[in-house]
Amino acid sequence: MKKFEGKVLVVGATGRTGLWVVRRLQHYGIEVRAFARKADKLAEFRNLEVSLGKIQNTSALRSAVSGCNAIICTIGASELIGEASPVQVDGDGIIRLVDIARENDVKKFILVSSIAVTKPFHPLNLFGGVLSQKLRSENHLRSIYGKDGFTYTVIRPGGLKDGEPFKYQLQTGKGDTISGVIDRADVAELAVLSLWTKRVENETFEVIRTSPAEQKSLEIYLEKI
């Protein structure tokens, strides 16, 4: 029996974290639809449904979320201004996605945000106010979901690295008080596990890696939150 029944839309599927989310969903045999601007980076996957579009395009988002039971959003800004800026992606874009998901009865929304979003004077916020925009979309998600049978999980990872999954012990926290780094692959695994881990329904938490140690599963870290 699958851990999660239904189709999951991965938004930002061609980013380095998004690619890992798609891999881990397919590992668990979960039906996936990938939303991205271009499909070229998805060539490694077989039997993957792809929906092309931009986060600014309301009709493309409506088409992408239609028929999905959950969303894992890993999208993030890559430029200071324009369509790939923090305001248009981390702020307005994710808020638009949340609203359309709720209107289309998508019951579960998992958002990969960032550590330090509550700290406007953090150096990372010099990049177009990216942390402030992420907090804005987090707050909107929490105001829309978390009631009437709709659930959210907000994951705030530390600085993102590109190592393999399951190679480090993890530390979680709440209240935006920890700092550190974590591998994107482990963030992706936690996002996928959040689909069926009741403990993190309607929760916001931070996560970093600590000591090198092979991990059989990361579920224990979610259960501790």
With a CB cutoff of 8 Å and minimum separation 6, the contacts of 117 are 131, 132, 134, 135, 138, 156, 176
Evaluate whether 76 touches 15 at the Cβ level (below 8 Å). yes
Evaluate whether 134 touches 89 at the Cβ level (below 8 Å). no
Q: pLDDT, tens digit, for every residue of 26-64?
A: 999 999 999 999 999 998 998 899 999 999 999 999 999
Structural domain boundaries of the chain?
7-223
Alpha-carbon gap, residue 51 to 171, rounded angstroms:
35
- Evaluate if residue 202 carries a pLDDT over 90: yes
**pLDDT for res 73:** 98
HSE-CB at 156 with a 13 A cutoff on CA atoms is 25
**pLDDT for res 1:** 60
- Evaluate if residue 83 carries a pLDDT over 90: no
Residues in the chain, overall count: 225
Q: Which of 108, 118, 115, 95 is nearest to 182 (CA)?
A: 115
Phi, psi angle pair for 147, to nearest 5°: -160, 160
Nearest 5 degrees, angle CA 51-CA 4-CA 137?
Answer: 55
With a pLDDT cut of 70, the percent of the chain lying above it is: 99
Structure tokens belonging to residue 106: 């998508």
Instruction: Please state the rounded mean pLDDT for residues 169-183.
Output: 97
Q: Which of 100, 27, 30, 31 is nearest to 59 (CA)?
A: 100
Structure tokens belonging to residue 73: 């959003």
Give the pLDDT band (50/70/90) at residue 81: confident
**pLDDT for res 156:** 98
Which class is domain 7-223? alpha beta
**pLDDT for res 78:** 87
Give the pLDDT band (50/70/90) at residue 102: very high
Q: Where are the alpha helices (DSSP H) in 58-161?
A: 58-65, 92-103, 130-144
